[in-house]
Amino acid sequence: MDPIPVRSAVRAGVVGSLVLVYVALVGLIERFADLKLVGEQVTLGRLLLFLPPFAVAYVVARPRVVAGERRVAGPRAGLVAGAVSGVVTSAVFGVAVVLADRFDVVRIRHVFIAATPGLIDFVTFERGVVVGIMILLVLGLASGALGGLAKTGDRRLTRPLAAGVSTVILLGLLQRIVPIAMQELGIEPDFLYSPRTRSLTWGGAIGLLVLAAGADVLWNRSGPETQRRIRATMIEQPAARVGILLIVLAVLVALPLLLGSVISQVLGSVMIFVLLGLGLNIVVGYAGLLDLGYVAFYAFGAYMMALLTGATLNTTTGSSAAAFSLDLNFFIAIWLVVVLAAGVGLLIGAPVLRLRGDYLAIVTLGLGEIVRVLTESRWLQPLVGGPQGMRGVTDAAIAGYSFRNPQHFYYLALAFVLLAVFVSWRLAASRIGRAWNAMREDEQVADAMGVGTTRYKLLAFAMGGAVGSLGGALFAVQIGSLTPASFQILVSITALAVVILGGLGSIPGVVAGAVVLIGLPGLLREFEEFRLLIYGAVLVAIMVLRPQGLLPNVRRMRELHEEEEAQDEWVHRFADEAAAAAAVPGGTLGVEEEDLT
């Protein structure tokens, strides 16, 4: 129950203010100043003013290690420290606001385009600088205090509240999607979303809060016991497993019917990136080969599908035939594409076999760029259409049932995703998978043990390429038209982010990663401008805070944390010894106060 040093709280407050200044200057506050979440008053912009002090206070209030002892702060200490850091955050930010105001905002605007008079007005709540800063201080105090309490308060209270608030925020952000989904299901959304402001109604918000909090309480109360029982059932009774699988499948199949074509479209894109993620997961996750040019396979699959199903080149006068094209049915062409892509994977893998991690990364990056440049080139224009691109990719129709419709496409993509999941899963559990594990952990040792690294590396590239090109081919079918603009390096980076975020080597992780990185931005189109900024921040945050990803593969997690666990063990042993030594008069180790990173 020790208090948290003021020094830390002040330091945290300064960091918080820098974060707040950053959020303001990068344009987030201004852009979302009008996005109403609940009623008319709670806008995303105001929420963004509230978040940095809250977050910083939360971090300040966490347990610290003092002299080998782990000290947890009590709620009162948390509240005080949080309040202090919150006030400091607002104070420093207020100073910045005053400076901006005095300094003639126009001049600052020449450098930072987001520093408009409108922004100053907004952060001062349209009441002038003096009153605005006072409001900011109060807001900072409150949010900081809440943040400190959130960390140090009673878990039984804070967790449900957190669940409730996050649900409200999430549903507020999804204000353009959820009403449509509700209407598709036949429910009138008016009680939840006000038709006038598009935001959540106050009644609806409070209801949601209570519901979500209640659900969390129930889950926790039964929690560990129920989870254990569910897991036991799943292990003991294979019938239950099949049952759950069928239920999941049924839900997946029913989704587009329930949610309408707009959401189905997003789901279709998510499916494509799940495919890309699965393929990259084979190369990076299983075999440990860092591939930064995965877009090469994606483009190959897309253009190959176009060429094999009779797509034409766009020209300035209309269209013309490609130098080489066949008019195959989709269901024949897709396998041809997959086989050819596997071949290309072998071709790409062969020269890079002996390259080590970073070299491999840059070479694969280069290969991705080569493919992009080739698709745009005038040289290959007679084949792939150059800058104008191609059109008329097949819509994979079966007896008139066209798959280009978003809802239908989802089923096509789902079928292939299930196939790819199955293949990945069997690969991981097979001898090949074990060879990859060995190769990934230590190539030299694997070689010495007789694992033919050459062969397995090539296999990884071939399989990864095949799955990736599958994604590309489906993409071509989804859109029907191809331009080189869709095959930039960003696709490679996004695919990598999907795999990393989800957890290397984990199939559920790939799905989770795709849902978060493709699904959410697809549903929250308002954030399109900041999508890459958020991608970058998420990548860094994940790597620093949780490198095993969201749904990690248990084995990999152990690999990553081997050292940490060994170290923890040592620290604990050391702490025990230190405690024992401290009990002896005249013999202490002057360990300085340290934060637990």
Partner 1 sequence: MGTDPQVREVRLSRFERLPWRRIILLALGVTIAATVGFGAYRTLTLPEGQRYSVSAWGDFVVLGAAQGSIYALIALGYTLVYGILRMINFAHGEVFMFGAFGSYFFASAYEESGFLERQPVLALAIILGVAIATSVVVAVLLERIAYRPLRGSPRLVPLITAIGASLFLQNTARGFFGSQTRGYAKPDFLSGKWEVLGVAFPRVRVVVFLVACVSVVLLTLFIGRTTTGKSMRAVAEDSEIASLMGINVDRVIVITFAIGGVLAGIAGVLFAMTFEAVNFYMGFQPGIAAFTAAVLGGIGSIAGAALGGLTLGLLESLGPSLILTGYHVPSPFQLKPAFTFLVLVLVLVFRPGGILGAGEAEKV
Partner 2 sequence: MRKRKLFSLLALVAALSLVAAACGGDEEEPGVTGPTGVTATGPTAPAVDCDADPFGCVEVSAGEPIRLGSLLAISGDVAFLGTDSNHGIELAIDNLDGALDGTPGQLLGHDVELQQEDDGCSAEGGQAGATALVADPSIVAVIGTSCSSAALGVADTITSDAGYLLLSPSNTNPGLTSEEAHQPFYARTAHNDRIQGAISAEFVYNELGITSAATINDESPYADGLAAAFRQNFEALGGTITAIEQVNSADTDLGPVLRSIAEGEPGLVYAPNFPPGCGLSLIQGADIMPAGTTYMGADGCLETSFVGQVGDPPADYYASSPDVTVFQGGAYYADEFLPAYEAQYGTEPTSVFHAHAFDAANILFDAIEAVAVDDGGTLLIPRTALKDAVLATSGYEGMTGIVTCTPLGDCATDVTIGIFKYPNWPVEGGEKPTDAVYVDTKSLADVA
Binding interface with partner 2 (CB under 8 A): 180, 260-262, 265-266, 269, 310, 312, 314-319, 329-332, 334-335, 373, 376-378, 386-389, 391-392, 394-400, 402, 406, 419, 422, 426, 430, 478-486, 522, 525, 528-529
Backbone dihedral region of 128: left (phi > 0), alpha (psi from -120 to 50 degrees) or beta? left
Of 17, 266, 286, 376, the residue at the interface with partner 1 (CB under 8 A) is 376
| Partner in contact with 25, chosen from partner 2, partner 1, none, beta carbon below 5 to 8 Å by kind | partner 1
Shortest distance (Å) from residue 45 CB to partner 1? 15
Of 243, 343, 452, 536, the residue at the interface with partner 1 (CB under 8 A) is 536
| Partner in contact with 443, chosen from partner 2, partner 1, none, beta carbon below 5 to 8 Å by kind | partner 1
Residue 42's contacts (CB-CB under 8 Å, 6 or more residues apart) are 36, 172, 199
The amino acid at 425: W
Tell me the window of 120-128, 164-172, 250-258, 494-502 that interacts with partner 1 (CB under 8 A): 494-502
Please tell me the distance from the alpha carbon of residue 299 to that of residue 279, in angstroms, as a whole number: 14
| Partner in contact with 388, chosen from partner 2, partner 1, none, beta carbon below 5 to 8 Å by kind | partner 2
> Would you count residue 56 as binding partner 1 (CB under 8 A)?
no
Residue 512, both tokens: 């989770």
Q: How far is CA 6 from CA 86, 132, 144, 153, in A?
A: 12, 26, 14, 19
Pick 250 or 537: Cβ nearer partner 1: 537
Please tell me the distance from the alpha carbon of residue 81 to that of residue 12, in angstroms, as a whole number: 10
Angle between helices 128-152 and 75-102 (to 10 degrees): 150
Of 218, 373, 397, 485, the residue at the interface with partner 1 (CB under 8 A) is 373
Shortest distance (Å) from residue 354 CB to partner 1? 6
> Would you count residue 539 as binding partner 1 (CB under 8 A)?
yes
Please tell me the distance from the alpha carbon of residue 557 to that of residue 505, in angstroms, as a whole number: 10
| Partner in contact with 330, chosen from partner 2, partner 1, none, beta carbon below 5 to 8 Å by kind | partner 2
> What's the distance, Cα to Cα, between the start and end of the chain in Å?
20
Of 9, 16, 20, 27, the residue at the interface with partner 1 (CB under 8 A) is 27
> Would you count residue 365 as binding partner 1 (CB under 8 A)?
yes
Of 128, 243, 357, 452, the residue at the interface with partner 1 (CB under 8 A) is 357
Of 99, 362, 398, 554, the residue at the interface with partner 1 (CB under 8 A) is 362
Tell me the window of 69-77, 314-322, 367-375, 578-586 that interacts with partner 1 (CB under 8 A): 367-375
| Partner in contact with 394, chosen from partner 1, partner 2, none, beta carbon below 5 to 8 Å by kind | partner 2
CB contact at 8 A, 402 and 408: yes
Pick 188 or 442: Cβ nearer partner 1: 442
> Would you count residue 532 as binding partner 1 (CB under 8 A)?
yes
| Partner in contact with 196, chosen from partner 1, partner 2, none, beta carbon below 5 to 8 Å by kind | none
> Would you count residue 369 as binding partner 1 (CB under 8 A)?
yes
Q: Which of 74, 72, 75, 95 is nearest to 13 (CA)?
A: 95
DSSP string, 415-478: HHHHHHHHHHHHHHHSHHHHHHHHHHH-HHHHHHTT--HHHHHHHHHHHHHHHHHHHHHHHHHH
CA angle 87-92-93, nearest 5°?
95
Burial class (CB in 10 A: 0-12, 13-18, 19+), 151: buried
Of 378, 400, 448, 583, the residue at the interface with partner 1 (CB under 8 A) is 378
> Would you count residue 252 as binding partner 1 (CB under 8 A)?
no
Chain position carrying tokens 């347990």: 63
Residue 6, both tokens: 């003021």
> Would you count residue 354 as binding partner 1 (CB under 8 A)?
yes
Pick 71 or 561: Cβ nearer partner 1: 561
Helix (H, G, I), strand (E, B) or coil at 351: helix
| Partner in contact with 359, chosen from partner 2, partner 1, none, beta carbon below 5 to 8 Å by kind | partner 1
Strands 390-391 and 481-482 turn out to be: antiparallel
Pick 400 or 586: Cβ nearer partner 2: 400
How far does CA 453 lie from the centroid of its chain? 32
Reported as half-sphere exposure (CB side, CA atoms, 13 A), residue 410 has a value of 20
> Would you count residue 117 as binding partner 1 (CB under 8 A)?
no
> Would you count residue 111 as binding partner 1 (CB under 8 A)?
yes
User: H or E element: which one contains 482?
Assistant: strand 481-482
Q: How far is CA 441 from CA 285, 292, 445, 555, 565, in A?
A: 11, 20, 9, 12, 18
> Would you count residue 444 as binding partner 1 (CB under 8 A)?
yes
| Partner in contact with 396, chosen from partner 2, partner 1, none, beta carbon below 5 to 8 Å by kind | partner 2
Q: What track of x and - describes contact with partner 1 for positions 277 through 306 (by CB under 8 A)? A: -------x---x-x----------------
Q: Give the number of other CB atoms < 10 A from CB of residue 102.
A: 9
Chain position carrying tokens 């606001």: 97
User: H or E element: which one contains 390?
Assistant: strand 390-391
Shortest distance (Å) from residue 312 CB to partner 1? 21
Shortest distance (Å) from residue 284 CB to partner 2? 24
Q: Which of 290, 301, 309, 596 is nearest to 469 (CA)?
A: 301
| Partner in contact with 335, chosen from partner 1, partner 2, none, beta carbon below 5 to 8 Å by kind | partner 2
> Would you count residue 551 as binding partner 1 (CB under 8 A)?
no
Strands 312-315 and 390-391 turn out to be: antiparallel
Shortest distance (Å) from residue 509 CB to partner 2? 24
Pick 11 or 159: Cβ nearer partner 1: 11
Q: Which of 486, 457, 458 is nearest to 472 (CA)?
A: 486
Shortest distance (Å) from residue 176 CB to partner 2? 9
Pick 212 or 371: Cβ nearer partner 2: 371
> Which chain residues interact with partner 1 by CB under 8 A?
22, 25-28, 110-114, 284, 288, 290, 351-352, 354-359, 361-363, 365-367, 369-370, 373-374, 376-379, 443-444, 493, 496-497, 500, 504, 530, 532-533, 535-540, 542-544, 547, 559-560, 563, 597
